[in-house]
Structure formats: structure tokens, C-alpha cells
Structure 1
Amino acid sequence: MTTEVNDTQTVLKCYHCGDICADDSIKSEDMYFCCEGCKIVYEVLNNNNLCTYYDLNSHPGNDQKGKAQGKNYDYLDSDEIRSKIVEFSTEQITRVTFFIPGMHCSSCIWLLEQLHKFEPSILESRVNFMAKTLSVRFSNNIKLSQVVTLLDSIGYQPRLSLDELEKKESAFKDKSLIYKIGISGFAFGNIMMLSFPEYLSIDVSSTDLKFLFNALIILLSLPVLVYCSSDYFKSAFKSIKQRFINIDVPLTLGIIALYGQSVYEIAAGHGAGYMDSFAGLIFFLLLGKIFQNKTYEFFSFERNYKSYFPISVAVLKDGDEIYTPLSQLKQGDKVVIRNNEIIPADAYLLTGDANIDYSFVTGESDPVQKNPGEKLFAGGKQTGGLITIEVMNEVSQSYLNRLWNNYLLTGSNETGYTHLSNVISKYFTIVILIIGAASFLFWLPQGIQKAITVFSAVLIVACPCALALSTPFTLGNALRLLGRNNFYMKNALLIETLSKIDTIVFDKTGTLTQTGAADITFEGKPLTTLETGIIKSMFRNSLHPLSKLVHSALNNAGYVVIDSFRETAGKGIECRYEGIEIRAGNSEFTGAGELSTVTQAEFTNSTGSRIWLKFGDTLRGYFTVTSKLRANLDELFGKLKNEYDIYLLSGDSEKEKIRFEKNFGEGRMFFNQKPETKKIFIENLKNEKKRVMMIGDGLNDSGAISSADIGVSVTDDLMSFTPASDVILKSDGLKNLSGYLKFAKSSVNVIKFSFVVSTIYNLIGLTVAVTGNLSPLFAAVLMPLSSITVIAIATVGTIFANKRRGLEL
């Protein structure tokens, strides 16, 4: 039971939301509630052993008074409406994202991510607190309406608007801030005009004008107090209610002190008070707030999808495959999807045997077979032969971005500097309140007016916002600039990790070698026209760099319809044609090492990658692929060797060693590596306390990429990246790798500098305020100005670092 005792009576507070109870009639066990809704929510939580919710914050629940209980959501189960809401659905699993406006604290996050304890059919629920969204993945044992009913029953009713769903993006934009700026600016200007007699020392005390002017000033100030500053009062009230003091608490006290002092002086006839300072304070605070919001929106990681994924997909146009950027993909386009390629948008299957792995979406690797005409969802990965799809909807950047960020998500969402700024902000407010109270007591003997002025100035000028903003704004701008330079990172928090890298591991094929240029020869029994067509059709199904090179070399051959296709990572590919199994790959996969028809001397005659070819039980020969190295590698490694430990891991034989020895040196190159041994190598480096970056093509080295501190997937043209990667790097940007790493370090230095500037500002501002030399109005100008200064430092600092490292703006 929650009670508060005052001089006359005991006040009952609702155990769930903290509001005052009208009486003690609504009760469960020894808990009192303000309404039946709050009681129902408590009982639901209690019955599911989830009352830890109340331990995280005091009275964390949303007020349920006036909310309809037992609302019917059955309409959500109609196929037409359901298709507009869900993001992904198979016969077994559905995924949907809701906008939850009632989400407001850490207890909300904890509870919403425990939905599986209410309903076992809910497999996962994940919160994006900044966007106030909840992504829910549930089995189809329950209906969509039941999921929404559950959310409503615990006090988190989703906002469902079919008009907004049609627009495919959240349209919950609040224009009240603009209105508040307009009203406070209007009041500020007019109060200043009415205060001219005071400014000019004109005596109007003997006229009726003084009463009129003062009445108008108070009238103009009321909407500023009640409406324009309401967000600060609400935030402070919620903070105190949760037994936590945020930055709006001292700000609110300063506003109340300034307004109260002004009303007192006007009512007592001592003067016009500080209503101009009060209105100006609110106006400048709101102006700074909207500037911060606009700037943060600009730097937000939810970037326009035109800059998302520096890769393309193969669109069929007049029978030819034309590589088209995702931003230009349109409804109705026919797209060719190969083995291990991600489906970029919701689509219908036209041709081919689709075996779709939705682990990128659901987290579970359980391929689903699809037939022509059936719907395929964005984010699925084809595992098998080539398929053709028809795009239903344009690419949704925010959806792909959300999938990428959630894939294999572990650990904290805070960097070291983010955590530091949060800790400072937490204790900063308490320190400021103590300083403000001490300043008030110190100046009180000089008069209540002076004491209140100093108290207000101290509470207003001090602000941890600059500290809190320096990290997200710097990293956000750095993320944007890296994206412009073909280094596309999963999220901004990884930039700090990038700055600490000391070891870089390279894959060879498709990373250091070009995927579109090579010398290719075939040794063995000549192939017939039909056999060449079979081989070309088989290689067409694979995204592996060597497969694409061999496929391109067979440009004079036609295609045939093969019966099946399978690719084994790190080994090779196989298909069947009229009952005959055809294999292409390494000697182990094809059995070449066991056959005496090819001598050891022949095996070591040439350099390059060797792809053995086997029809049935007969080894027919091998392709030798000598890939050309990417440009500027000597320059790249010349920059890296002095600052980083670099290694080469390759699945090829040691024949390739001579090509890379000058760049890596002895003992730094490892050949005949399988995908699992690459992963173990990375893990061993990390066990030695190394900060490791793994750079590969994302196909045979996805395990190593996911194990590294920073995993980089290098791509040329196709959507062949691994979802486990942290970075997608356009291949022609590889030469700038040293610049990217130095830029990340420079960005962290910008954060450090911003911290210093913010600290100096607060020390100087507080010193001037405490000594009584700072007016509340000027403090109101300085407060947002400090945040704007930090934003400017973050922007200019990262742009300068970007230019200094030779990158594009």
C-alpha cells in the first residue's frame, strides 16, 4: 500500500500509476488503485510473476482512467487490414512493429520485452525507446488481435491508424513545439514593448497606464506559463514521480521562481518584475529545442534509403540482367536472386525453386519452400538455385535497417562515452540544485529579490545537455560522412569500437582480388557444348567471386535447365542434370586428391585458384583462375603495416603466397583455411585482447566476420553481404581503409573536445551566476547556445577530420 501523510489526512496513492485515489474502495490484497483499469493491469502482472516492473521505478504504470477495458480488436484479423500492419508472415511466424505512445521509462522497456511470459506464443519483443516502437515476433498459434489485446490489457495500447499505415511510415509528428515558439515569441515581444516605460525610466505611476500595462503583461505571460512551458513542468513532474531528478527539475524551479517573483513585484507595486525575462527564457529554450530536434533528425541513423547499402540487384530488362541500385527498384521490376542473396523487397516468386531462409528476419534458420506465385518477404535469403521474383513494394530502408541492427544483437546499446555522459547527467542535476540552494541562502541577506534572481540564473544557465548531445551528434555526423564514402556502418555506436581496432584480418578472394577481372584457363578433357552449358548454368546460381568469374568466361555458351543446385561454403557447388551429378570446387569436394589421373606435378604447375570439375564419377579437369589484384594495395598496406597487425586468411593453397608476401610478411599469411578455422583464428586473436577487424566478401567467412569486433563485408554489385557484418564496404572504397580508421579516431577526439568545452562552459556560467552577475534572461540565451555550440563543434569537427583524411564530404 502506498500512502502519504499530511497534517489533516492520509492520502492514498495508486500502486500502479501513482495518482491520488478518490477513496479506498478499489483494492487488491493490500494495494489501492485509482481505477479498475489500474487494478486489472496490476493483477495481470501479478498473475504472471512480473511485479519486478514496480521495483524498477515507483508507480511506473500509465493511468488507466477513462480507457475502455476489453476493447474488441477482432477487425485486425481480416486479411486486408492484417496485410497492412504486419511486416512479415509465414505459416508459422509473424512479425509486426507497433507505435506505443505510452512508453515512458525503463520499467516500460522491461515489461514490454517480457511479453513472452504473458503469452508463450510470443517469441520475442524488442523496444526502440527513442522511436517508441515495439517489434513483436509471434507464432501463429495466436492472432494479431490477441497480441494487441494483451498490450492494451497491460496499459500499452498501440496507436493504430490505417491512414498512417497506408503511408508506410510513422506520421506521428507533433507541431505543438512550433505553436509554443510562436506564442512565446509573440508574448516576449509585446511584454518588452509594454515594459518600455520601465526601460526608459518613465514614471507612469500616477496614471491609469501603469495598471493597464501590468494587467496586459500578466495576461500575456499566462499562456507562456500554462502552455508554452508545460513540457518542462510535465517532464519534471514525471521525473519526481519516478524518484529521479532530471535536468527539467531545476529548470522548472527557476521558471517558477522567476514568474513568482515577477507576479509578487507587480502585485505589490514594486515594479514590472521580470516578465520580459520570463517570456524570453521560454522563447529561447524552445528555440534551442527545435534546433536540436531538427539537427538530430538530420543526423539520425534512419537515413534516406538512397544512401542505404552501396549495392545493387540484378533486374531483368529485355532478357538481360541490369544491375540496379536499391533506391531505383520499383514495383513490378523482375529481379534475379541467387544462392545466399537477400531478397530486398516484398515480392512474388515467378520462377525457380525457392528455399527461403528467414533467419535475418526471425532469428531462426528454418528454410521455407515456396512455389511460383507465392509471396516472399524482404529480408529472406535464398538457399538454393537461381530464382526470379517480381517486386511488390519499393525497398523499405527503415525495415532493412531495423533487421540489420537487430540481427544477432547482444550486449549493451551504450558506448563508453555514452555511458559516461549519462552518468554525468544523472548526478549533474543534484549538484546544480545544491549550488542553487546555497547561492540563494548566501544572497538572501542582500534581499529576497537578489536571492531569487541568482537562484534562477544558476538553475537556468547550468545544463548537462551539451555533455549529453556531444556523443550522439558527433557519432551521427561521422556515420553520415562515412556512408557518403562507401563505408556504411550498421549504427553509430560502432564508431567508437572502430577507433580502437589494432588488428586487421583480410580474406583474399573477392576482397583483395577483383571479382570482374581474371585470367581463366581450363585444363583437362575438352567439354562438349552441352557440358559447357550445364557448367555455365550451375555457376550462374552462385554468388561466390570465383563462380562469377568462371560464369563470365563462358559467355559464348547457352543456358540449360538444371534439376537442382546446392552450394557448400568453403568447398564448392553441385547440381544434377538428367540424373547425373556435376560438382565444381576444391580437390576435397570433388575427390581430385584421391585420383591418380592428375599428378602432383600438374597440381603445382601454376598459380591462381583451382576449381576442379567432376561429371558423375569422372574428373574432367580444372579451371585455373588467376584473379587480378585490386588497385592501390601496396599503398594501402604501406599505411596499415606501421599502425596495425595485419593477417591474411585464404581458402586457397599456398601457391598464392608469393603474391602477398611483400604486403603481409612471413608468418602473417594462412592458407587452406576453412570457414570454421577462420572463425577460430579470429576468436584466438580476441582472447589475446586484440581488437579485431575482419574484412571479407561475407560468403565463406560470415562466421569470422560475426566473431570480429568489427566485421566488414566487401561488395561489388550484388546484395551478397552477410547480415552478421557491421559494415558494408563498397569495393572501390577499400583503398581508403586507413582513412576510415583514422577518421573514427578523430571523431572520438571531437567527443573528448566537446566534453572539455561543455565543462568549461558550465564552470564559467555557474561562477558568473553564483556571483550575481548573470540575469535569468541572459542565462536563458546561454543555455541553448551551449548546446548549439557543441552541435557546431561536432559538425565542423567531423567535417574537418573527414577532409583531413582525404574522404569526401
Structure 2
Amino acid sequence: MIASTCFHCGSDCGKTIINFDQKTFCCNGCKTVYEIFSSNDLSCYYDLQSAPGAIPKEIEGKYNYLDNPDIIERLVEFEDENIQIITLYIPHIHCSSCIWVLENLHKLQPTITSSQVNFPKKTVRITFNKEQISLKEVVTLLSTIGYEPYISLEDYSTGTTTINRSLIYKLGIAGFAFGNVMFLSFPEYFEVSEYWLEQYKHVFRWLMFAFSLPVVFYAAQDYFISAYKGLRSKLLNIDVPIALGILVLFIRSTTEIVFDLGTGFFDSLTGLVFFLLLGKFFQQKTYSFLSFERDYKSYFPIAVTRITKTDQQKRKEENIKVYDIKQGDRLLIRNEELVPVDCILIEGNAQIDYSFVTGESESVGKQSGDKLFAGGRQLAGAIEIEALKSVEQSYLTQLWSNDIFNKDKSTSFTNLTDTISKYFTIAILCIAAVSTTFWLFTDPTKAINVFTAVLIIACPCALALARPFALGNILRIFGKSKFYLKNADVIEQLAQTDTIIFDKTGTITTNKKSNIEYQGLQLTPEEESLLKNTLRASNHPLSRSLYDILDEHNIITLDDYQEHIGKGIKGKSAQNTIKIGSSGFVGNTKDSEALNTSVHISTNNKYKGQYIFHNQYRKGIKEVFNTLSKTYNLSILSGDNEGEKQYLEQLLPKKTKLFFNQKPQDKLNYIEILQQHQHKVIMVGDGLNDAGALAQSDVGIAVSENVNVFSPACDAILDASQFEKVTTYLGISKKAIKIIKSSFVLSFLYNIIGLYFAVTGQLSPIVAAILMPLSSISIIIYVTVLTNILSRRLKPIK
């Protein structure tokens, strides 16, 4: 590590270097964490990975709401007389060092009994003695060492969730039964006729019957329930012929062993259910550590600090739940906290970032008396506000009052398998009826065998397995390539779309960097030094961005520094003064026509020029849009102004439609109009302002710099680093559907061969036992191999 790099967090120390124990630190917080680890014999934390820590944030008073018993009760997952257990989400978990230190919390605090990290979910489950340490102290300890938990209003509203493991249990039972039944069937497969088989074959058959009971009445129950609900709703879904096939297999097999007619089809029965459940498990094994269903509760704090005055006119601060905020309450909002309600700014310097709600990329300065809206994030220290409304009445909450957030997309979508199964079921029932009628007049002794054989051999196991295994494999492949889908239906919906709409800020642009261009008179070295040192004292996002690109200069002490909220900053050193900010603030007499974000500079009352901030567009954006324009209708809906319009018109294909100054409701309405004209729409966005549009679209894709945090409700989450693969993902989705359709053709061929034996009365147990598993396994292999070949198009992007 170089001398100017912080030993704890790896950040550049710049000119502010703190030396301790022959190591360098960027701030006292990092130095304190190092001291804590060293004094508690945890210094090997740094041996696992270089600079693994995070810069601790100011936490004084931040977690006072965890003194509230009602809040504690809703957050903890277990509590008895002495013990409390809580699972906390820690966004900063990122490496082996994080796991090690979090699982050794007991060395820092002996009253913590145990702590277990779930790395994919970025959570830590902590067990502690509540008589000796409080939940607030546990959370404060985590924040002190750089692992601040993220606790939101959603945690309070929903409490802990339970995991449904029934599918795993059913799969295990079906697999166990299938293996044993196959083993017991081997002697009859090979027609062994020794004495011991003749003596024990009845035992073997009744054992197979016993193994089939839990498979039929427990493992396969979901198919019977689904078929019943489908018939009750007058729908022939894929589960109707499956349930019918399972039922006929079981009844015929039971009849055969009861009347000693044969060994039955228990092997086929248990194998069918096992493979069906395996396909369902493969398809449903999605990304439990990601949240595809989020609303404003996912981002809001649980509690806020209310300021009141006692009888002696002394200030009193108390923590209340956000749902208890009433009109007229005076609230304290700390740095980096969200404004929970619509309010009036009473005191303090407000610099509000509304990108979370509106999509507007730049923060805005507010003065005392200005109105603030819920969802804005305060960026410039603590402020005091007066609530105008309760949480439920605020602007942000009203975004969720739209009926679109109550719509379940799955109810309006019929997948390919269900579409085909309707006609397949009718055809099989007709074939069974006609062939049975024929044999009733030709050879009545074969009629019942033909009827059951048709239903058994035509049971659409291969048809039912093709889609879940193909799409399940695509889900896995996309996940490895950092494109996470809510479920398999999303792949099929992606393949059907014809229109794609993109948000601009944070979606096709990156929040991590921007292009800054200087226009004006050249600054002297003295002026550049004064500019750099004046920017050093400002916490405004534009100031920080501009500060980072300027050359290094020696630190000088300013004789005067003033910050005018919403206008700019002023610095003075010796005889030189500098103003940095808006055009009017620095004294620019010429009107600036640029719509781009600009920071103007004047020194000694002489206007020098401006730094113009251009959005940094994602890598490959031009190629992505040019490729998509050949197949899709493209639009951009942005909450920003038209500052980038001319540039986008040059960058993107000519037929791309551009709309600016779009409010959240405007985006939702635009998509709804397209859908009324029979278009299938993909919405690609990133912020809370896109939540309505993502919900209204046929497929909503949230682009995220960090897939584990701050993504609105959506159908898919795309890691921002993989944006240029969008065209590949869509192409693979369409080809995956073609693979499924071709597997259906293969499945129908199997059914035709099997039906020939069944209708002609030639179906024997050995044929059924071989043909049914063979068709299922071959379909699984077919779709898996083809989808894996398809995935080779997804080459890693560095």
C-alpha cells in the first residue's frame, strides 16, 4: 500500500494523513476502528485482505429509536428472558475479512454469544444477552467498526419471514421412493424366474405400493390442487393431464398388484413425479438474496427524532416511529437521512437530493421557509423541519396509491406450456375415448387396458419438463452473468416484447463519474490553488466532483469561507477572493443559455469561466441502441431537463424518441398508452421515480450499481457493469423459446410412438417403464445442452 492510502479502508488520504502505529489513516474514524481491533486481538482482520474496512459514519443519536420496546419487538426474531436474536442486513459485507470480523464479534463484546454471516444475503444473525447489552448497543458497535446495518421501515412493517421448504421435502420423498421402486423392479425388468423371486415378488410389489403412497398423496398433491382449480375455473392447464396421468398410473398399478395381474407402473409413477418436482425446483431456485418487490418502506427509516419544548422552554429530543409523525411536529433530519414527510424547512442548510424520487440528477439548495418533499435526502449536515402532513399523506406515499401497484402481472400472462396443454389435453382425451370405443366392439377384454395405457403413455411429462428445465437453466446462466430475473416467466415475456423504454439518469448514464469541461479564461496557478482549497471545505456533490479532477495543490488556510445555500461558495486567502457557484452569484453579466449543469468561477470580482458537467454514458451505449433499433421501438423518458438532448440525438439512432421533464406519472401513462395499442413494453430504469413505470410495463428491469441495495419493485435486476449485454440477453430469451418449442415437437414424437403401442393394445409394463423415463430424461438433456450452447454468447465483461 502506498503511503497516502488508508490502512483500514484503502481510500486516498490526500493531504489529510493521520499516522498511528507506523500506519496511515484517512480519518480518525478509521484510526479508531484499527485501535479497537488491535486492542481486542483482531488485527489479523487485515491479513485476510488489504484495506477491507469502511469509513465509519457519524452515528451519535442515530439509533436512539432502538430504545423503543415496540420497535425492538418487531425487529427481533427470537426473545426469551435473557436472549435476543436478530438478523441485520449489512450492505458493506464484501470479502472474507468482513465475514471473519463479523463472526468474531464476541471478541469485541463478550455479551454477544454468537454471530453468523450469510454472505450472499449480506446479513449477520446475532445472538446476545439482552440483560447485559441492548440492541441499540449492538447496532452501534457494528457501525463503529464500519459495518453499519441498514434498517428500514419495511423491516418494521413486515417483521421476519419464514422460508417455505415444502418443495424440498416433496422432492426428497419422491427421489427416495423412485430410487427404491426402481431397485425393487429390476428382477421383473429382466424377467428373473428363480425361486426366490417367485417367493418374494408379492413382498416387492407391496413395498413398491407403499413407497408410492407418500408420492401420490403428498409429493404430487400440488398437481391435483392445480388441476382442480383449473377445471373449476374452466381452464385446461398442463396440470390437468399430469394429474390424470398420475391418478390412472396409481389406480391401474394398484389394481394389477391386488389381483396379481402384474407389477404395475410404480416405477414410472414415482419417476414422473420426481422429475416434475425436480424441474419445478430448478425453475424456482431463484435469487432469494435479491428483493424484486420494494416500495417506499424499503427505503424509509423506522423512526425519526422529534424536537419538543418542555415547560421550562428547554429543547427535548425524542425518537418516534415515522407513522406517529403528525402535522406540526418539528423534526431533526441528520446528514444523509431521508426526509420522511412533506414539510417546511425551519433551520439549517438544506441541500436535497431528489434523484431518489424524481430522477433529476442534481441536488437543490433550500432556504428556511422552503417546502421539502418526502423522499429527498439531506446532504449538508443536520436540519430542522416542520411536518405538513403525515407519512401516509405525503407525495412519495401517493406514488404508491396508483392501482398499478396492486396488479399481479402473472395473472394476465399465460405461458407457452399452458397454451399448448389446452389443446393437448383435449386431443388425448379424444384419442382415449375413440380407441376405447373401438376395442369395446373389437375385443372388450382389451378396452380398459387401452384406455389406461393411452392416458399413462400420453401423460405430458416431457412436455411439462421442457419449459422449467430450459428456462431454469437460462435463469442460472443469466444469474452468472449478473442479470437476475424474478422467475422463469420473465424470460418468455422478454421474448414477446417489441418496445423498450429507458430512463436516462442512472440507467444509460453512470452515477460514478461525469465528464467535466472547462470553458473560459485560463486560471493562474494561484487561482487554481485557491479554487482547490475552497472546494475542499464544501460537501456539495458538484464541489466534490470538481475537487476530484483538479490537480493537487498545497493546503492553505483560508482567511474567509462562506457558503450560500443554493447559490455557491466564497473563499478568501490574502488579497485574493474567489466565488464558485451559479452564474448570477459569481457576477456573470452574460446570460448562460446552457441547459447542462455548470459551475461558474470568478476571482477578485472578475468572471473567469465555467465548468460544464456532462453525463457519462455507459460503455457501449451507442452499439446497444443501434442493435436494438433494428428489432424494437426505442424511447427515452427522463426526469431531467433537455440539456443532453442535442448530444443524445447525435449519439442514438434517429428513430429513438426522446422525452424530458417527465414526472413518474407521465412515464406510467406513456407506457399504458403503448400497451393500449397492443405493444409489449420493457421499461429499463433505476430509481424510485421509475417504480410506477416498471410496474406498468410488461417487463420492468432495474439497473443497479449494487444489486443488493436500492432497487425498486421490478421483474429483473441488471448489474450496471453488464449494461452492454442487454441485446445479448434479449436475443438469448428469444432463442430459448425456440428451443422449448422444438423440444415440444420431440415430446410429441415420443407420445405418438407410445400412443401407437397403447392404441393397438401392445403396451407392456416393460415398454412403459422404459419409454416414459427415457422421454423425460432425453428432453432434459436436450434443452440443457442447447441452452448451455446458447450461453456461450455471454462472454464476461471486465
Measured against the shorter chain, the TM-score band is 0.5 to 0.7
Residue of structure 2 in register with 1:21 after alignment: none
How far apart are the structure 1 equivalents of 2:774 and 2:678? 42
Q: Of 199, 205, 210, which aligns to 1:223?
A: 210
Q: Of 593, 599, 616, which aligns to 1:603?
A: 593
Q: Of 726, 734, 750, which aligns to 1:737?
A: 726
Q: Of 407, 411, 415, which aligns to 1:410?
A: 407
Residue of structure 2 in register with 1:644 after alignment: 632
Residue of structure 2 in register with 1:791 after alignment: 780
Residues 410-809 of structure 1 mapped to structure 2, 5 A cutoff: 410-414=407-411, 416-418=413-415, 421-422=417-418, 424-425=420-421, 428-429=424-425, 432-433=428-429, 435-436=431-432, 438-443=434-439, 450-514=446-510, 515-519=512-516, 521=518, 532=535, 536-539=538-541, 549-550=545-546, 552-553=548-549, 581-582=565-566, 597-600=588-591, 602-604=592-594, 608-610=596-598, 623-649=611-637, 656-664=644-652, 668=656, 670=658, 673-675=661-663, 682=671, 685-686=674-675, 688-698=677-687, 704-717=693-706, 721-804=710-793
Conservation of the 8 A alpha-carbon contact between 1:456 and 1:776: no
Matched residues, percent identical? 29
Conservation of the 8 A alpha-carbon contact between 2:501 and 2:681: yes
How far apart are the structure 2 equivalents of 1:283 and 1:441? 29
User: What stretches of structure 2 of length at least 5 have no aligned partner?
Assistant: 1-68, 79-158, 233-239, 308-316, 324-328, 339-355, 358-373, 382-399, 555-560, 570-580
Question: Which residue identity lines up with residue 477 of structure 1 in the other structure?
Answer: N
How far apart are the structure 1 equivalents of 2:174 and 2:671? 55
Partner deviation per Cα, 1:510-543 (whole Å, 9 max, x = no partner): 4444432422559899988897456x4243xxxx
Residues 88-237 of structure 1 mapped to structure 2, 5 A cutoff: 169-172=163-166, 175=169, 178=172, 182=176, 185-186=179-180, 189-190=183-184, 193=187, 212-213=199-200, 216=203, 219-220=206-207, 222-224=209-211, 226=213, 229-231=216-218
Question: Which residue identity lines up with residue 384 of structure 1 in the other structure?
Answer: R
Conservation of the 8 A alpha-carbon contact between 1:355 and 1:370: no
Partner deviation per Cα, 1:234-287 (whole Å, 9 max, x = no partner): 7798789877666333433343334424543x4xxxxxx312xx2xx3234323
Conservation of the 8 A alpha-carbon contact between 1:415 and 1:496: no
Question: Which residue identity lines up with residue 768 of structure 1 in the other structure?
Answer: F
Conservation of the 8 A alpha-carbon contact between 2:284 and 2:472: yes
How far did residue 291 of structure 1 move?
3.8
How far did residue 769 of structure 1 move?
1.3
How far did residue 555 of structure 1 move?
10
Conservation of the 8 A alpha-carbon contact between 1:474 and 1:794: yes
How far did residue 723 of structure 1 move?
0.9
How far did residue 349 of structure 1 move?
9.3
TM-score (normalizing by structure 2): 0.53
Conservation of the 8 A alpha-carbon contact between 1:255 and 1:456: no
Conservation of the 8 A alpha-carbon contact between 1:502 and 1:690: yes
Task: Summarize the Cα distance change of 1:624–1:236 in structure 2 as closer, same or farther, 3 Å threshold.
Answer: closer
Matched, 1:385 2:381: no
Conservation of the 8 A alpha-carbon contact between 1:502 and 1:691: yes
How far apart are the structure 2 equivalents of 1:764 and 1:705? 46
Conservation of the 8 A alpha-carbon contact between 1:488 and 1:728: yes
Residue of structure 2 in register with 1:248 after alignment: 243
Partner deviation per Cα, 1:449-471 (whole Å, 9 max, x = no partner): 64454333222111234334444
Task: Summarize the Cα distance change of 1:782–1:631 in structure 2 as closer, same or farther, 3 Å threshold.
Answer: same
Matched, 1:303 2:300: no
Conservation of the 8 A alpha-carbon contact between 1:467 and 1:755: yes
How far apart are the structure 2 equivalents of 1:356 and 1:496? 46
Residue of structure 2 in register with 1:56 after alignment: none
Conservation of the 8 A alpha-carbon contact between 1:488 and 1:727: yes
Residue of structure 2 in register with 1:15 after alignment: none
Residue of structure 2 in register with 1:286 after alignment: 270
Task: Summarize the Cα distance change of 1:668–1:255 in structure 2 as closer, same or farther, 3 Å threshold.
Answer: closer
Conservation of the 8 A alpha-carbon contact between 2:436 and 2:450: yes
Task: Summarize the Cα distance change of 1:513–1:611 in structure 2 as closer, same or farther, 3 Å threshold.
Answer: farther
How far apart are the structure 1 equivalents of 2:213 and 2:655? 72
How far apart are the structure 2 equivalents of 1:669 and 1:218? 69
How far apart are the structure 1 equivalents of 2:303 and 2:172? 44
User: What stretches of structure 1 of length at least 5 have no aligned partner?
Assistant: 1-76, 87-164, 267-272, 310-339, 360-366, 389-402, 540-545, 559-576
| 3-state secondary structure, aligned to 2:729 | helix
Question: Which residue identity lines up with residue 463 of structure 2 in the other structure?
Answer: L
Task: Summarize the Cα distance change of 1:759–1:520 in structure 2 as closer, same or farther, 3 Å threshold.
Answer: same
How far did residue 625 of structure 1 move?
0.8
Conservation of the 8 A alpha-carbon contact between 2:304 and 2:319: no
How far did residue 798 of structure 1 move?
2.8
How far apart are the structure 2 equivalents of 1:166 and 1:679? 32
How far apart are the structure 1 equivalents of 2:223 and 2:507? 54
Partner deviation per Cα, 1:26-67 (whole Å, 9 max, x = no partner): xxxxxxxxxxxxxxxxxxxxxxxxxxxxxxxxxxxxxxxxxx
How far apart are the structure 2 equivalents of 1:287 and 1:387? 64
Residues 367-378 of structure 1 mapped to structure 2, 5 A cutoff: none
Residue of structure 1 in register with 2:26 after alignment: none
How far apart are the structure 2 equivalents of 1:688 and 1:456? 48
Count of aligned pairs between the two proteins: 543
Question: Which residue identity lines up with residue 408 of structure 1 in the other structure?
Answer: F
What is the alpha-carbon root mean square deviation over aligned residues?
Answer: 5.8
How far apart are the structure 1 equivalents of 2:617 and 2:189? 76
How far did residue 635 of structure 1 move?
2.9
| 3-state secondary structure, aligned to 2:377 | coil
How far apart are the structure 2 equivalents of 1:726 and 1:184? 36
Question: Which residue identity lines up with residue 599 of structure 1 in the other structure?
Answer: K
Residue of structure 2 in register with 1:260 after alignment: 255
Partner deviation per Cα, 1:61-92 (whole Å, 9 max, x = no partner): xxxxxxxxxxxxxxxx9998865569xxxxxx
Conservation of the 8 A alpha-carbon contact between 1:582 and 1:613: no
How far did residue 745 of structure 1 move?
1.5
| 3-state secondary structure, aligned to 1:408 | helix
TM-score (normalizing by structure 1): 0.53
Question: Which residue identity lines up with residue 251 of structure 2 in the other structure?
Answer: I
Task: Summarize the Cα distance change of 1:803–1:503 in structure 2 as closer, same or farther, 3 Å threshold.
Answer: same
Residue of structure 1 in register with 2:572 after alignment: none
Question: Which residue identity lines up with residue 603 of structure 1 in the other structure?
Answer: E
Question: Which residue identity lines up with residue 736 of structure 1 in the other structure?
Answer: K
Conservation of the 8 A alpha-carbon contact between 2:498 and 2:633: yes
Task: Summarize the Cα distance change of 1:79–1:412 in structure 2 as closer, same or farther, 3 Å threshold.
Answer: closer
Task: Summarize the Cα distance change of 1:429–1:298 in structure 2 as closer, same or farther, 3 Å threshold.
Answer: closer
